[in-house]
Amino acid sequence: MSNNKKTQSWAALKEHQKTLSTLHMRDAFDDNPKRFDEFHIALDGMLFDYSKHRITGETQELLMTLARSCALERYRDDMFAGEAINTSENRTVLHTALRGSAQPRLEIDGENIDSFVNQTLKRIESLSDKVRGHDKITDIISIGIGGSDIGPRMVCDALADNASGPHMHFISNVDGGPLSALLDQLKPEHTLFLIASKNFGTVETNTNAETAKAWLMDTLSEKAWPEHFIAITQNSEAAKAFGISDYNTLPMREWIGGRYSLWSAIGLPIAISFGFREFKALLSGAQAMDEHFKTAPLEKNIPVLMGMLGIWYRNFFGFTAQAILPYAQALESLPAYVQQLDMESNGKHVTRDGKMIEHATSPIVFGGQGTNAQHAFFQHLHQGTDIIPADFIAVINHEHGLDNHHTTLLANALAQAQALMQGNGDGETPHQDFPGNRPSSMIMLDQLDAYHLGMLLALYEHKAVVQGCIWDINSFDQWGVELGKKLAQNITDALETKAVLEADSSTQNLIKHISLRKE
């Protein structure tokens, strides 16, 4: 623990957790008919119900005391003010500036942030309008990986029913199968590529981009093929060396983290697919959640409550996982998005000042969409030996005409959350009994549109920030992935040249096996 107040708060929560060891939420609801009233928050078309958690009013007070002892409010304010809270890289964290939520008139390295954001938005609007109005472009392939891919891909999937632009495709994996199959279906003269890479040096993205370039050059003239590329990058010189003009290059900045970048020019696929107005609606929804996070008291602050509930289960109950369960097929990609956001942000083992952490950090995040997931891993949620807190995400209104389908979908979401909470002690055999008392949140959106999707995504972003603050870790770097990248390059060289690599015997012999078996 970093200070006496935090140590005391942590100890108080440990003692309090012992007093709740016999509390069953079923009894808590029976004892307090107003439990839902006390443990839910409504905000601008979003409802957050956290009444099905193993908490009392005292629990909430103690969790907020812990948050204040960790200076959460100051940490939050420092982020919006442009302080360098990414300490290991000495960077500011200003993805919120992209949706107009950072402190006004900020300057970073002599550049006015408001001016940069406004100019970038104008470029996004101009380019997206140009592409949408182009009479020959029918298909767009967005090439990126990690945050440069999963955010825009997830939003485009979620809002797909309202798409009005050219067909949007996403390629991320360096596995050549998906790109090869896609290129076989398309025509170069009707295809536009978006290269999304902050440093224009990611191996997977560059490999896919070079293949796309060669495919275009086989058919198009030296003058024509560069017009079939748009780059989103901080490294404009590398984009120019690749052959992409300055006009077709949208800028990035160091203070835009990859997994927080869909609000930036990385979100160009969203603007192209749905129009710039919808992209702005997405930003507006995120801005609304930013404002709530900045101004609501901690006890009524949805990201804070979500984050502190996660702390409660991870550190005081020892629960090791978190399930994300969207009851909307359109949100099928949301669990993977939250998985990256949480586990890449908070999967750390040292504090911000480099000391070994004494407690658990990020849980394993996984999930699936309802009702499919009910026929996959829900058995484990109900009767497994691990207790896994869950987030249910439901959408009240729908745009299709099958009302009975949607009623069944919503009924299943409510029923599964209820079953996890109350359990079943009336089975005819022990196999049919399960205790319940398994916590979940219910997040309900009035409708799944760009605005409310923006709110939802910003909510999960801020939840990760809250937990990083409590764990005293840097949620904005990802050094753990770098070693594998370096080793992969050495192994690539060995596979291509058949040179002997200085490595462990397993790696050496696997390389040898590949070389011998390769056709």
CA gyration radius, the chain? 24
DSSP for residue 263: T
Q: Could you tell me if residue 35 is inside a domain?
A: no
Q: Could you tell me if residue 75 is inside a domain?
A: no
Q: How many C-beta atoms lie closer than 10 Å to residue 213's C-beta?
A: 19
* CA neighbor of 439 nearest in space, from 17, 26, 10: 26
How many structural domains are present in the chain?
A: 3
Are 210 and 308 found together in one domain? no
The label of the residue with tokens 């069944």 reads 408
Are 348 and 485 found together in one domain? no
Q: Judging by DSSP bridges, how do beta strands 167-171 and 191-196 pair with one another?
A: unpaired
* Three-state secondary structure call for residue 315: helix
Positions of E strands within 268-422: 321-327, 364-367, 390-395
CATH of the domain at 230: 3.40.50.10490
Are 154 and 60 found together in one domain? no
Whole-number Cα distances in Å, 191 to 139, 170, 182, 265: 5, 13, 11, 20
485 is catalytic: yes
Q: Could you tell me if residue 362 is inside a domain?
A: yes
Domain range holding 473? 4-20+41-70+296-477
> Are the beta carbons of 467 and 346 closer than 8 angstroms?
yes
Q: How far is CA 305 from the centre of its chain?
A: 18
Mean pLDDT rounded to a whole number for the chain: 95
End-to-end CA distance of the chain: 57
- Distance between CA atoms of 456 and 454, rounded to whole angstroms? 5
Give the per-residue SS3 of 115-171. HHHHHHHHHHHHHHHHHHCCCCCCEEEEECCCHHHHHHHHHHHHCHHHCCCCEEEEE
From 130, 359, 375, 513, the catalytic residue: 375
- For the stretch 190-199, pLDDT in tens is 999 999 999 9
Q: Could you tell me if residue 320 is inside a domain?
A: yes
- Distance between CA atoms of 180 and 191, rounded to whole angstroms? 14
Residue type, position 29, single letter: F
pTM higher than 0.85, yes or no? yes
CB-based burial label for 495 (10 Å; 0-12, 13-18, 19+): middle
pLDDT of 473 reads 96
189: left (phi over 0), alpha (psi -120 to 50) or beta: alpha
* Three-state secondary structure call for residue 462: helix
**Tokens standing for residue 287:** 């801005």
Are 50 and 122 found together in one domain? no
Q: How far is CA 391 from the centre of its chain?
A: 14
- Distance between CA atoms of 111 and 98, rounded to whole angstroms? 14
- For the stretch 401-431, pLDDT in tens is 899 999 999 999 999 999 999 998 776 788 8
pLDDT of 20 reads 92
Residue type, position 177, single letter: G
- Distance between CA atoms of 387 and 503, rounded to whole angstroms? 40
DSSP for residue 193: E
Q: Could you tell me if residue 30 is inside a domain?
A: no
Cis bond leading into 92, ω under 30°?
no
Q: Could you tell me if residue 31 is inside a domain?
A: no
From 204, 278, 344, 461, the catalytic residue: 344
Q: Could you tell me if residue 79 is inside a domain?
A: no
Residue 217's H or E segment, with its range, is helix 203-217
344 is catalytic: yes
388: left (phi over 0), alpha (psi -120 to 50) or beta: beta
Boundary residue ending a domain (279, 305, 325): 279
Are 146 and 102 found together in one domain? yes
Are 273 and 324 found together in one domain? no
Are 166 and 267 found together in one domain? yes
The label of the residue with tokens 């869950």 reads 390
pLDDT of 519 reads 62
pLDDT of 269 reads 98
Q: How far is CA 204 from the centre of its chain?
A: 20
Boundary residue ending a domain (215, 246, 279): 279
- Distance between CA atoms of 348 and 357, rounded to whole angstroms? 8
Are 261 and 348 found together in one domain? no
292 is catalytic: no
- Over the range 284-323, which residues count as b (16 or more CB within 10 Å of their CB) and which as e? ebbbbbbebbbebebeebbbbbbbbbbbbbbbbeebebbb
Vertex 193, ends 188 and 196: CA angle to 5°?
A: 165
Boundary residue ending a domain (246, 279, 312): 279
Are 234 and 376 found together in one domain? no
Are 270 and 171 found together in one domain? yes
Are 230 and 311 found together in one domain? no
pLDDT of 517 reads 87
Q: Could you tell me if residue 76 is inside a domain?
A: no
Mean pLDDT by 10 residues, the chain (519 residues): 83 95 92 96 98 97 98 97 94 96 91 96 97 96 96 98 96 96 97 96 95 96 95 96 96 94 98 98 98 98 98 97 98 97 96 94 97 96 96 95 95 97 84 92 98 98 98 93 87 87 92 86
Are 438 and 367 found together in one domain? yes
pLDDT of 1 reads 45
From 405, 485, 498, 513, the catalytic residue: 485
